Amino acid sequence: MSVKVISVLENILQANDQIAAENRARLDAAGVYAINLMSAPGAGKTALIEQTLRALTPQVRIGMINGDTTAASMDAERGAQAGAMAVHINTGGNCHLEAHMVRQALSALDLSTLDLLIVENVGNLVCPAGWDLGTHARVMIASVTEGDDKPYKYPSMYRAADVLILNKIDLLPYLQFNLDYYLRGVRLLKPEIQVFQVSCRTGEGISAWIDWLRECVSSKRLT
């Protein structure tokens, strides 16, 4: 007897990519630039969103989709309090967002009133990397408290990211974090990646990130 092998994961990923392409087309039609923020739990995704909102609103109209494994919607509430149109997605325990979840959240937002959409993925250093959501850029946040060996141990998200934000640099004096070793590991995986070193606590380095993002939003408005 022979065994039939069905590649379920491949089919699921293909279906996800199809929906992601539809999400991107919808965002393009509305002139909204979208980023997918990915990181380990606690690296500072919501803190970066708060800093970004502080710097860009009201000139840039910002929406936020926040994915969490439970109904706890405090991150979306933090975004709303800082001025974003915020939608919370409860993934029901799933360790990453998928394109169909973002499609549903897009329907809860009036895209014609937005310039920028920030998707905060579930805090996880592995799973989110494999799933296109239909955003225009994947932004990874790493924090120095995670250790300088992380690019070597968790390469998938570094490979998937277009931009890397190294957060919590205010804590560098208190840690044994070898920045050269860390950046060498990053560049081995993704030589051309753009890196911003920031502190969401003190605001150091945030302006370079904001300039980059403002430029992306402006380019999208013009296309």
Ligand X SMILES: Nc1nc2c(ncn2[C@@H]2O[C@H](COP(=O)(O)OP(=O)(O)OP(=O)(O)O)[C@@H](O)[C@H]2O)c(=O)[nH]1
Span 53-82, contacts to ligand X by CB under 6 A: 75
Residue 116's binding partner among ligand X, Mg ion, none (Cβ under 5 to 8 angstroms by kind) is: none
Q: How far is the CB of 217 from ligand X (least distance, A)?
A: 22
Q: How far is the CB of 22 from ligand X (least distance, A)?
A: 27
Q: How far is the CB of 8 from ligand X (least distance, A)?
A: 28
Phi, psi (rounded to 5 degrees) for 37: -90, 120
Shorter beta-carbon distance to Mg ion: residue 167 or 189: 167
- Per DSSP, which regions of the chain are E strands? 33-39, 62-68, 85-90, 116-120, 137-143, 163-167, 194-197
- Asked if 168 interacts with ligand X (CB under 6 A), we say yes
Q: Which residues of 81-118 are buried (b: 16+ CB within 10 A; e: fewer)?
A: ebbbbbbbbebeeeebbbbbbbbebbeebebeebbbbb
Contact of 106 with 89, CB cutoff 8 Å: no
- Asked if 52 interacts with Mg ion (CB under 5 A), we say no
Total length of the chain: 223
Q: How many CA atoms are closer than 13 Å to the CA of 106, on its beta-carbon side?
A: 27
Stretch that binds ligand X, among 15-23, 34-42, 151-159, 205-213 (CB under 6 A): 34-42
Q: Which residues pair with 87 in a beta bridge?
A: 65
Q: How far is the CB of 31 from Mg ion (least distance, A)?
A: 27
- Asked if 36 interacts with ligand X (CB under 6 A), we say no
- Asked if 199 interacts with ligand X (CB under 6 A), we say yes
CA 118/CA 28 separation, integer angstroms: 15
Given the structure tokens 């250790």, which residue do they identify? 147
- Asked if 143 interacts with Mg ion (CB under 5 A), we say no
Among 16, 23, 36, 39, binds ligand X (CB under 6 A): 39
Residue 77's binding partner among Mg ion, ligand X, none (Cβ under 5 to 8 angstroms by kind) is: none
- Asked if 128 interacts with ligand X (CB under 6 A), we say no
Q: Kindly state the greatest CA–CA separation across the chain.
A: 66
Site string for Mg ion, 60-79 (x = CB under 5 A): ---------------x----
- Asked if 139 interacts with ligand X (CB under 6 A), we say no
How many residues sit in the footprint of Mg ion (CB under 5 A)?
3
